[in-house]
Amino acid sequence: MFEPTDPNQIQLTPEGELKHFITTEGLSRELLTEILDTADSFVDMSAKQVKKVPLLRGKTVVNLFFEASTRTLSTFELAAKRLSADVLNLNISTSSTSKGETLKDTLMTLHAMHSDMFVVRHSSSGAAHFIAEHVTPDVAVINAGDGRHAHPTQAMLDMLTIRQAKGEFAPLTVAIVGDILHSRVARSQIHALRTLGVKEIRVIAPNTLLPRHIETLGVKVYTDMLQGIRDVDVVMMLRLQKERMNSALLPSESEFYKLYGLTMDKLALAKPDAVVMHPGPINRGVEIASSVADGDRSLILDQVTNGIAVRMAVMSMAMSGQTKTRANLIQAGES
């Protein structure tokens, strides 16, 4: 396992601009707001006749996915194409890594193709950070999910969806429900929600799906969903990540649904205008009832739409930061 340390030394320029996007942890409220504002400017693009802008024209983006993904990969690919980039989706199942090539060797091979940006998804925490440390200064790295560590673009599309629905972050009480233990999404959400000034963050899960010392992240912990969901403004459900469970952490899915699945009865305990979110893919009848997932308080499809806009924002901002860094290096070399 890679051990990421002090990510902001590597993901920000000396001027505090984004050059990689590895984690939401430690980023300023101003920078997170800039990402949201930039994403907002891209939201309406899907309704336009020409769905492209030239911000990454002439750039090559490589989607380097070591884990299976449909939603995240497709939205990153679409975002890059809407920025006019050339896009390569690396099929890991047929890549040289399956023949024993190391991550670093794979990276160096792709680097020799003069790629400009790597979008990385990997089962090991810290993989995106590791790659960012080993690319040249003119290459940007975007974390599309690493182990249990972080999924920063998912968190930011969730923040954009909340801002669209609620306007301000400060008055809100937000509940995150489900498999907190294995969720990189939850960690990135918590860091972003705290930085953006949400009044109260609650995590709701059985003890077996709660990380040790989770309260040190500034959240309130509930093992009783009927208490935890009471009077919240936003309910963020999580997927049960059974592929990451090494032992039986639940009596059964039906028991989990009975105690922690979001039904209309449980949602009635939240505020009357509370909204429901889920990063997907959703497991109906395990994490959430169909009546809730398809109901008028569900923002699940808005999250998917916003995923494209947020990824366009992050990719364009990171490439801008890298371009300025490269220009500064060239200027320093000439002076």
The tokens describing 125, both together, are: 């925490």
Residue that wins the pLDDT comparison between 4 and 162: 162
Q: Is the pLDDT of residue 329 over 70?
A: no
**Which amino acid belongs to residue 188?**
S
First vs last C-alpha separation in the chain: 41
How much is the pLDDT for 49? Answer: 83
pLDDT tens-digit readout, 220-271: 999 999 999 999 999 999 998 766 655 566 678 888 999 999 999 999 999 9
DSSP secondary structure string, 46-101? Answer: GGSSS----TTTT-EEEEEESS--SHHHHHHHHHHHHTT-EEEEEEGGGSGGGGT-
CA gap 186, 178 in Å, rounded: 10
C-alpha 139/C-alpha 322 separation (Å) is 7
| Tens-digit pLDDT profile for residues 127-180 | 899 889 888 888 999 999 998 889 999 999 999 999 999 999 999 999 999 999
Q: What is the mean pLDDT of residues 109-113?
A: 79
Say what the pTM is. Answer: 0.91
| Contact between 317 and 34 (Cβ < 8 Å) | yes
CA count, 13 A, side-chain hemisphere, 210: 20
Closest among 286, 265, 266, 287 to 277, alpha carbons compared: 287
- Give the Cβ contact number of residue 207 at 10 Å: 9
**pLDDT at residue 335 is higher than 50:** no
Is residue 160 within 8 Å of 169, Cβ to Cβ?
Answer: no
Instruction: For residue 2, name the pLDDT band (cuts at 50, 70, 90).
Output: very low
What pLDDT, in 10s, does the model give residues 116-137? 999 999 888 898 998 898 888 8
Q: Left, alpha or beta for 29 (phi > 0: left; psi -120 to 50: alpha)?
A: alpha
Q: What is the pLDDT of residue 167?
A: 97
- Dihedral, 123, 124, 125, 126 alpha carbons, nearest 10: -120
Q: What is the pLDDT of residues 267-321, one digit of tens each?
A: 999 999 999 999 988 999 999 999 999 999 999 999 999 999 999 999 999 998 7
Q: What is the mean pLDDT of the chain?
A: 89
| Token output for 98 | 């399956």
